[in-house]
Amino acid sequence: PGGSETLEPLVQLKGEHLNVAKISESGKKQRKNWTLMWSILTSDQLLLYKERQQETSQQKPGSKTDVVQLCGAFIEWTTEKSSRKNVFQITTNTGSEYLLQTDSYSTASKWYDAIRKTIDSSVRT
Ligand code: I3P
């Protein structure tokens, strides 16, 4: 590992716009603020960008708005934390909580399934 991952992460799911709300950071509750984020799933991280990234070229360095570490994380669907539909929550092993949402159920479940697989495989290694 190391070296090339910032240029070419092992992309599991290509970029797509998802609504994201970070509701806590290191166990500290945050004010909910839904933001449309360009999301890319790699083999161990969920990368969240404010702006859409080109698929063909390298990711712009420094343009990542947030990186969700998936090793040791926990994912679950939730109907209690939002009035929106198709909401799931990722809790990282450092106690940050993210809500992710999109109106398309098939898109939401595609991301849910892929992230869950990533979490499961990171636990085994
Ligand atoms: C929040 C905003 C969110 C809403 C949240 C509100 O208000 O309307 O969209 O979450 O509801 O508190 P504000 O912008 O004033 O912070 P949902 O869209 O997910 O329902 P909540 O407090 O019930 O989480």
* Residue 84, C-beta contacts closer than 8 angstroms, at least 6 positions apart: 19, 101
pLDDT mean across residues, the chain: 89
Report the largest interatomic distance among the alpha carbons of the chain, rounded to a whole angstrom: 42
Pocket test for ligand 1, best of 18, 24, 30, 32 (most atoms within 8 A of CB): 32
Complex prediction ipTM? 0.88
45-60 b/e (C-beta count within 10 Å ≥ 16 → b): bbbbbeeebeeeeebe
Alpha carbon nearest to ligand 1 atom 5, residue:
32
Closest CA to 91 of 77, 103, 102: 77
Q: How far is the CA of 31 from the centre of ligand 1 (A)?
A: 9
Where residue 58 falls (left for φ over 0; alpha for ψ -120 to 50; beta otherwise) is: beta
Which pLDDT band holds residue 81 (cuts at 50, 70, 90)? very high
CA-21 nearest atom, ligand 1: 19
The position carrying tokens 């198709």 is: 86
pLDDT at 124 (0 to 100) = 65
Ligand 1 neighbourhood includes 26 CB (under 6 angstroms): no
Alpha carbon nearest to ligand 1 atom 24, residue:
82
CA-82 nearest atom, ligand 1: 19
Higher per-residue confidence, 100 vs 5: 100
Ligand 1 neighbourhood includes 77 CB (under 6 angstroms): no
Q: What would the pLDDT profile of 54-79 be if each residue is shown by its tens digit?
A: 765 566 666 778 999 999 999 999 99
Q: Confirm if 71 and 94 have CB atoms less than 8 A apart.
A: no
Q: What would the pLDDT profile of 33-56 be if each residue is shown by its tens digit?
A: 999 999 999 999 999 998 888 765
CA-23 nearest atom, ligand 1: 24
- Considering the entire predicted model, what is its pTM? 0.87
Q: Which phi and psi (to 5°) does residue 13 adopt? A: -135, 130
Q: What percent of the chain has pLDDT over 70?
A: 85
